[in-house]
Amino acid sequence: MAYRYFSTRKRRFIIADTPGHEQYTRNMATGASTAELAVVLIDARLGVLTQSKRHGFIASLLGVPRLVVAVNKMDLVGYDRTVFERIKDEYTDFTTRLSFRDLTFIPVSALVATTSSTRAQHTMVRGRSAAHPSGECLCRRRPESGRFPFPVQRWCDPTGTSVGYSGKIASGVVRPGDEIVVLPSGKRSKVTRIPTFDGDLDYAFARCR
């Protein structure tokens, strides 16, 4: 896998590039495990392949809520709209059995950068580019749930007087003083602090997913 970093005026991005080759399918699971949006690249000449479906399935299985399907090499099929629509229909039918909340299709020609970061004359999706939906979708934050699932990844005892737990908040918000239930034991406790490297927080919440 390879990671690339960039930012826009709205937010910062981390791109996890996971190879499409069959022998590296496992890398998709690694990349999707912390992703908020997945991009599946499809060759317009070849159409929807088994790997196209595998990557979509893995992204859905790991809870990625938004999928962008980039149909590349449209220049090699003469920017034929029927080719794009055929791929769109086939993949849409496949994803009806998956759990994506947002599904976007974009025709792309990487050779001339059509619809990758500019709105070129050959684009068939008016006003959309491959850079546009990622920023637009990720900026829509889901409503905060009352539930607070918090898978514990490690525990520590930094002061010798209290035990701290580290992990990633799956959903919801937590504040000092909130009562929590530990599963599967059912024991109850209260949050006393939310310490970070930069100091204590007044509250903590889940990232947008």
CATH number for the domain spanning 168: value is: 2.40.30.10
| Integer Cα distance of 168 and 184 in angstroms | 18
Closest-CA residue to 136 (of 89, 69, 68, 70): 68
Residue 28 counted as domain residue: yes
User: Are 180 and 97 within one domain?
Assistant: no
User: Are 47 and 113 within one domain?
Assistant: yes
Residue 146 counted as domain residue: no
Higher pLDDT, 19 or 92: 92
Show which of 138, 173, 188 is a domain's final residue: 138
Q: What's the whole-number average pLDDT of the chain? A: 81
From residue 190, give the alpha-carbon distance in Å to each of 178, 182, 193. Answer: 6, 10, 9
User: Are 156 and 134 within one domain?
Assistant: no
- Given phi > 0 = left and psi -120 to 50 = alpha, else beta, which region is 5? beta
Residues of the domain holding 32: 2-138
Residue 163 counted as domain residue: yes
pLDDT per residue as tens digits for the range 147-184: 778 888 888 876 777 788 888 787 788 899 999 888 88
Residue 63 counted as domain residue: yes
Residue 193 in contact with residue 165, Cβ under 8 Å? no
Count how many domains the chain has.
Answer: 2
User: Are 46 and 91 within one domain?
Assistant: yes
Residue 90 counted as domain residue: yes
Identify the band that residue 136 occupies on the pLDDT scale cut at 50, 70 and 90: low
User: Are 80 and 173 within one domain?
Assistant: no
Specify the pTM: 0.63
Residue 143 counted as domain residue: no
User: Are 125 and 195 within one domain?
Assistant: no
Show which of 81, 113, 138 is a domain's final residue: 138
User: Are 20 and 70 within one domain?
Assistant: yes
- Given phi > 0 = left and psi -120 to 50 = alpha, else beta, which region is 199? left
